[in-house]
Amino acid sequence: MQKLLVLVEALIRRVAELSLAGLALLTLVDVLGRYVFKFPVRGSVELTEVLMVAVIFSGIVLATRAHGHVAVDLLATQLPARALRLQQLFSHLAATAISLLLGAVSWEQARSAAEFNDQTTMLGIPLAPVVFFMSTMLFLNALVHASHFVQTLRGAKASHA
């Protein structure tokens, strides 16, 4: 099971890396094309939007897995260990529920996009796979938060979440 988790994390990381590199390259080519050759990349806004989905939603899962989200700990530093643990349990539980809800809603949106064959306006990129990816990442994020919840419940060392 651990090997599968490592493989999934590596795959998600690679999607984020390649998408970010693609964004940088697309921006470079579009800017050069637009200002040097007066010939911008056709559909660059749509491509940017799709690549941003990949970067953002894979990044959410990776940040959650690494406990890397920004946390404001003005009160947390003043709490006793037991209260901090309860706060973290609540935080992970709430994040799990929110990720599940957003995943379910976006899954329905993806089904609708597939049913109606929704596409981007200029390039005709099908939207269903993009929204299914978003939904899948949100469900994975919920699993990671649920895992953090269980680890905290079992007494794992507290980390800001």
Q: Residue 156: count other Cβ atoms within 10 Å of its Cβ.
A: 12
| 39: Cβ contacts below 8 Å, ≥ 6 apart | 33
> What local confidence, expressed as pLDDT, does residue 79 receive?
81
Hey, what's the torsion of the CAs at 99, 103, 104, 110, to 10 degrees? Answer: 160
Per residue in 11-52, pLDDT tens? 999 999 999 999 999 999 999 999 999 999 999 999 999 999
Measured distance CA(138)–CA(149) in Å, rounded: 16
| 47: Cβ contacts below 8 Å, ≥ 6 apart | 26, 41, 123, 125
Hey, what's the torsion of the CAs at 22, 117, 99, 44, to 10 degrees? Answer: 20
Does pLDDT of 72 surpass 90?
no
Give 126's DSSP letter.
Answer: B
Measured distance CA(61)–CA(19) in Å, rounded: 15
Per residue in 76-116, pLDDT tens? 778 888 888 998 999 999 999 999 999 999 999 999 999 99
Q: What angle do CA 50, 63, 15 make, to 5 degrees?
A: 35
